[in-house]
Protein backbone atom coordinates (compact mmCIF):
# COMPACT_ATOMS: atom_id res chain seq x y z
CA UNK A 1 0.00 0.00 0.00
CA UNK A 2 2.93 2.33 -0.56
CA UNK A 3 1.17 4.09 -3.37
CA UNK A 4 0.34 7.74 -3.68
CA UNK A 5 -3.36 6.95 -3.41
CA UNK A 6 -2.93 5.08 -0.12
CA UNK A 7 -2.19 8.37 1.60
CA UNK A 8 -5.86 9.19 1.48
CA UNK A 9 -6.92 5.90 3.13
CA UNK A 10 -4.74 6.10 6.21
CA UNK A 11 -3.97 8.58 8.89
CA UNK A 12 -0.90 7.77 10.95
CA UNK A 13 -1.76 7.61 14.64
CA UNK A 14 1.23 5.81 16.16
CA UNK A 15 4.57 5.71 14.30
CA UNK A 16 6.69 2.56 14.50
CA UNK A 17 9.36 4.40 16.52
CA UNK A 18 6.84 5.17 19.23
CA UNK A 19 5.75 1.52 19.33
CA UNK A 20 9.35 0.34 19.59
CA UNK A 21 10.05 2.73 22.46
CA UNK A 22 6.88 1.77 24.32
CA UNK A 23 7.64 -1.94 23.96
CA UNK A 24 11.01 -1.40 25.63
CA UNK A 25 9.28 0.45 28.48
CA UNK A 26 6.65 -2.21 28.99
CA UNK A 27 9.29 -4.96 28.81
CA UNK A 28 11.14 -3.34 31.73
CA UNK A 29 7.87 -3.11 33.67
CA UNK A 30 7.10 -6.78 33.01
CA UNK A 31 10.62 -7.82 34.04
CA UNK A 32 10.11 -6.06 37.37
CA UNK A 33 6.58 -7.38 37.89
CA UNK A 34 7.49 -10.98 37.00
CA UNK A 35 10.91 -11.08 38.58
CA UNK A 36 11.94 -14.68 39.29
CA UNK A 37 8.86 -16.03 37.51
CA UNK A 38 8.19 -17.56 34.13
CA UNK A 39 5.43 -16.11 31.95
CA UNK A 40 3.09 -18.24 29.90
CA UNK A 41 2.14 -15.73 27.22
CA UNK A 42 -1.15 -16.59 25.52
CA UNK A 43 -1.43 -14.65 22.30
CA UNK A 44 -4.77 -14.00 20.65
CA UNK A 45 -4.25 -14.60 16.94
CA UNK A 46 -3.82 -13.03 14.58
CA UNK A 47 -3.80 -9.42 15.67
CA UNK A 48 -1.17 -9.78 18.40
CA UNK A 49 1.38 -11.36 16.05
CA UNK A 50 3.67 -8.37 15.57
CA UNK A 51 3.37 -7.18 19.15
CA UNK A 52 4.32 -10.58 20.55
CA UNK A 53 7.21 -10.97 18.10
CA UNK A 54 8.67 -7.65 19.24
CA UNK A 55 7.79 -8.04 22.92
CA UNK A 56 9.46 -11.41 23.42
CA UNK A 57 12.64 -10.09 21.82
CA UNK A 58 12.64 -7.17 24.24
CA UNK A 59 11.96 -9.29 27.35
CA UNK A 60 14.83 -10.57 29.41
CA UNK A 61 12.84 -13.07 31.45
CA UNK A 62 11.62 -16.57 30.66
CA UNK A 63 8.59 -16.66 28.39
CA UNK A 64 6.74 -19.59 26.86
CA UNK A 65 4.11 -18.97 24.20
CA UNK A 66 0.74 -20.48 23.43
CA UNK A 67 -1.96 -19.12 21.19
CA UNK A 68 -5.73 -19.05 20.79
CA UNK A 69 -7.91 -17.62 18.06
CA UNK A 70 -11.36 -16.15 18.50
CA UNK A 71 -14.42 -15.96 16.33
CA UNK A 72 -17.92 -14.71 16.93
CA UNK A 73 -20.71 -16.82 15.56
CA UNK A 74 -24.13 -15.49 14.69
CA UNK A 75 -22.87 -11.92 14.48
CA UNK A 76 -25.41 -9.85 12.61
CA UNK A 77 -26.47 -6.23 12.81
CA UNK A 78 -26.27 -5.00 16.35
CA UNK A 79 -26.57 -8.45 17.91
CA UNK A 80 -23.22 -9.68 19.13
CA UNK A 81 -22.37 -13.25 18.23
CA UNK A 82 -21.31 -15.81 20.79
CA UNK A 83 -17.55 -15.81 21.23
CA UNK A 84 -15.80 -19.00 20.34
CA UNK A 85 -12.23 -19.49 21.53
CA UNK A 86 -10.21 -22.03 19.56
CA UNK A 87 -7.04 -23.72 20.76
CA UNK A 88 -7.69 -23.85 24.50
CA UNK A 89 -7.26 -27.64 24.56
CA UNK A 90 -3.56 -27.16 23.73
CA UNK A 91 -2.93 -25.01 26.78
CA UNK A 92 -1.94 -26.20 30.21
CA UNK A 93 -2.43 -23.13 32.37
CA UNK A 94 -2.58 -24.79 35.76
CA UNK A 95 -0.16 -23.18 38.19
CA UNK A 96 1.24 -20.85 35.52
CA UNK A 97 1.61 -17.08 35.36
CA UNK A 98 -0.57 -16.30 32.38
CA UNK A 99 -0.23 -13.11 30.37
CA UNK A 100 -2.93 -12.85 27.70
CA UNK A 101 -1.92 -10.55 24.84
CA UNK A 102 -4.30 -9.00 22.32
CA UNK A 103 -4.06 -6.25 19.74
CA UNK A 104 -6.88 -4.02 20.93
CA UNK A 105 -9.33 -3.66 23.79
CA UNK A 106 -12.53 -2.42 22.23
CA UNK A 107 -15.80 -3.66 23.76
CA UNK A 108 -13.70 -5.99 25.91
CA UNK A 109 -15.70 -9.11 25.10
CA UNK A 110 -12.86 -10.95 23.36
CA UNK A 111 -10.31 -10.48 26.12
CA UNK A 112 -12.83 -11.19 28.87
CA UNK A 113 -14.04 -14.30 27.08
CA UNK A 114 -10.49 -15.62 26.84
CA UNK A 115 -9.51 -14.91 30.44
CA UNK A 116 -12.78 -16.35 31.68
CA UNK A 117 -11.98 -19.66 29.99
CA UNK A 118 -8.33 -19.72 31.05
CA UNK A 119 -9.26 -18.91 34.64
CA UNK A 120 -11.10 -22.23 34.82
CA UNK A 121 -7.73 -23.96 34.33
CA UNK A 122 -6.55 -22.60 37.70
CA UNK A 123 -3.49 -20.58 36.74
CA UNK A 124 -1.28 -19.16 39.49
CA UNK A 125 -1.89 -15.65 38.14
CA UNK A 126 -3.64 -14.02 35.19
CA UNK A 127 -2.91 -10.66 33.62
CA UNK A 128 -3.62 -9.04 30.29
CA UNK A 129 -1.66 -6.82 27.93
CA UNK A 130 -2.95 -4.97 24.88
CA UNK A 131 -1.30 -2.78 22.29
CA UNK A 132 -4.28 -0.42 22.12
CA UNK A 133 -7.25 0.47 24.26
CA UNK A 134 -10.06 2.46 22.69
CA UNK A 135 -11.56 5.28 24.70
CA UNK A 136 -15.12 4.00 24.55
CA UNK A 137 -17.84 3.60 27.16
CA UNK A 138 -17.97 -0.10 28.14
CA UNK A 139 -20.38 -2.18 30.11
CA UNK A 140 -17.63 -4.52 31.27
CA UNK A 141 -15.99 -3.64 34.61
CA UNK A 142 -12.49 -4.55 33.47
CA UNK A 143 -9.29 -2.84 32.37
CA UNK A 144 -6.29 -4.67 30.91
CA UNK A 145 -3.28 -4.72 33.25
CA UNK A 146 -0.88 -3.32 30.65
CA UNK A 147 -1.93 -0.93 27.87
CA UNK A 148 0.69 0.35 25.45
CA UNK A 149 -1.46 3.12 23.99
CA UNK A 150 -4.89 4.62 24.59
CA UNK A 151 -6.54 5.73 21.37
CA UNK A 152 -9.69 7.52 20.39
CA UNK A 153 -12.63 5.54 19.06
CA UNK A 154 -11.60 5.08 15.43
CA UNK A 155 -11.10 2.00 13.30
CA UNK A 156 -7.38 1.28 13.12
CA UNK A 157 -5.11 -0.99 11.10
CA UNK A 158 -1.45 -1.91 10.98
CA UNK A 159 1.07 -3.50 13.33
CA UNK A 160 -1.06 -6.66 13.36
CA UNK A 161 -4.51 -5.10 13.13
CA UNK A 162 -6.55 -5.79 10.03
CA UNK A 163 -9.44 -4.60 7.98
CA UNK A 164 -10.89 -7.71 6.33
CA UNK A 165 -7.46 -9.39 6.75
CA UNK A 166 -5.62 -6.54 5.03
CA UNK A 167 -3.00 -4.09 6.30
CA UNK A 168 -1.62 -6.19 9.19
CA UNK A 169 1.94 -5.60 7.97
CA UNK A 170 1.92 -1.81 8.15
CA UNK A 171 4.70 -0.89 10.59
CA UNK A 172 2.72 1.74 12.48
CA UNK A 173 -0.90 2.10 13.61
CA UNK A 174 -3.16 4.01 11.25
CA UNK A 175 -6.76 5.17 11.39
CA UNK A 176 -8.50 3.73 8.36
CA UNK A 177 -10.57 6.24 6.49
CA UNK A 178 -13.24 3.75 5.48
CA UNK A 179 -15.20 6.31 3.52
CA UNK A 180 -12.21 6.78 1.19
CA UNK A 181 -11.67 3.08 0.43
CA UNK A 182 -12.49 2.00 -3.10
CA UNK A 183 -15.64 -0.15 -3.10
CA UNK A 184 -14.89 -3.86 -3.35
CA UNK A 185 -16.98 -6.70 -4.72
P1 LIG B 1 -13.62 -6.50 21.44
O2 LIG B 1 -14.02 -7.92 21.69
O3 LIG B 1 -14.76 -5.61 21.07
O4 LIG B 1 -12.78 -5.89 22.55
O5 LIG B 1 -12.76 -6.48 20.13
C6 LIG B 1 -11.51 -7.00 20.09
C7 LIG B 1 -11.21 -7.54 18.72
O8 LIG B 1 -11.91 -6.84 17.67
C9 LIG B 1 -9.75 -7.33 18.46
O10 LIG B 1 -9.02 -8.49 18.80
C11 LIG B 1 -9.69 -7.01 17.00
O12 LIG B 1 -9.47 -8.19 16.25
C13 LIG B 1 -11.04 -6.44 16.64
N14 LIG B 1 -11.03 -4.96 16.56
C15 LIG B 1 -11.66 -4.10 17.38
N16 LIG B 1 -11.44 -2.83 17.02
C17 LIG B 1 -10.64 -2.88 15.92
C18 LIG B 1 -10.04 -1.89 15.07
O19 LIG B 1 -10.18 -0.66 15.23
N20 LIG B 1 -9.28 -2.35 14.04
C21 LIG B 1 -9.07 -3.68 13.80
N22 LIG B 1 -9.59 -4.64 14.58
C23 LIG B 1 -10.38 -4.25 15.63
MG1 LIG C 1 -9.42 -8.73 13.60
Residue 48 domain flag: yes
Give the mean pLDDT of 172-184. 84
Which residue from 70, 133, 65 is spatially nearest to 99, judged by alpha carbons? 65
Is 117 within a domain? yes
Residue 175 lies in a domain: no
Q: Express each pLDDT in 111-158 by its tens digit.
A: 999 999 999 999 999 999 999 999 999 988 899 999 999 999 999 999
- The alpha carbon of 62 and the centre of ligand 1 are apart by a number of angstroms equal to 28
Alpha-carbon distance values, 16 to 19, 37, 50, 92, 173 (Å): 5, 30, 11, 34, 8
Ligand 1 contact, 103 CB (< 6 A): yes
Nearest CA to ligand 1 atom 15: 106
Residue 102 confidence (pLDDT): 98
Residue span of the structural domain in which 34 resides? 15-151
The alpha carbon of 149 and the centre of ligand 2 are apart by a number of angstroms equal to 18
Three-state SS at 23: helix
Catalytic residue from among 103, 106, 145, 162: 106
Find out whether 51 and 131 touch, Cβ atoms under 8 Å. Answer: yes
Query: What is the pLDDT at residue 79?
Result: 59
Please indicate, yes or no, if residue 89 is contained in any of the structural domains.
yes
Which percentage of the chain shows pLDDT scores above 90? 82
Query: What CATH number is attached to the domain comprising 124?
Result: 3.40.50.2020
Please list, in sequence order, all residues whose beta carbon lies within 8 angstroms of the beta carbon of residue 121, skipping any fewer than 6 positions away: 91, 92, 93, 94
Mean pLDDT of 162-183: 90
Looking at residue 4, what is its pLDDT? Answer: 52
Asked if residue 148 lies in contact with residue 19, where contact means CB atoms within 8 angstroms, the answer is: yes
Q: Which of 49, 67, 82, 104 to mutate to test the pocket of ligand 1 (most atoms within 8 A of CB)?
A: 104
Render pLDDT for 98-117 as a digit per residue (tens, 0 to 9): 999 999 999 999 999 999 99
| Cβ atoms of residues 66 and 11 within 8 Å | no
| 22-80 pLDDT tens trace | 999 999 999 999 999 999 999 999 999 999 999 999 999 999 999 999 988 765 555 56
Decide if 180 is inside a domain.
no
Answer whether the bond into residue 46 is a cis peptide, omega within 30°. yes
C-alpha triplet 69, 72, 159: angle, nearest 5°: 50
**Ligand 2 center from residue 166 Cα (angstroms):** 10
The pLDDT value given to residue 61: 96
- The pLDDT of residue 8: 85
Q: Tell how far CA 143 is from the center of its chain.
A: 13
Whether residue 2 is predicted with pLDDT greater than 80 in this model: the reply is: no
What does pLDDT average to over the chain?
92
Residue 22 domain-assigned? Answer: yes
Domain count, the chain: 1
**Protein residue closest via CA to atom 3 of ligand 1:** 107
Q: Is residue 181 part of a domain?
A: no
Catalytic status, residue 153: no
Give the 3-state secondary structure of residue 119. helix
pLDDT at 139: 85
Amino acid sequence: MKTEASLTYFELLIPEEAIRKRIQEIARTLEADYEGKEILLVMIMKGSLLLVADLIRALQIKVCIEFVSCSSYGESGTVRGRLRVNGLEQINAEGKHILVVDDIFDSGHTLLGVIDRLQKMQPESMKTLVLLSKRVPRNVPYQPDYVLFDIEDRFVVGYGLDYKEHFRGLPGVYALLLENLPTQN
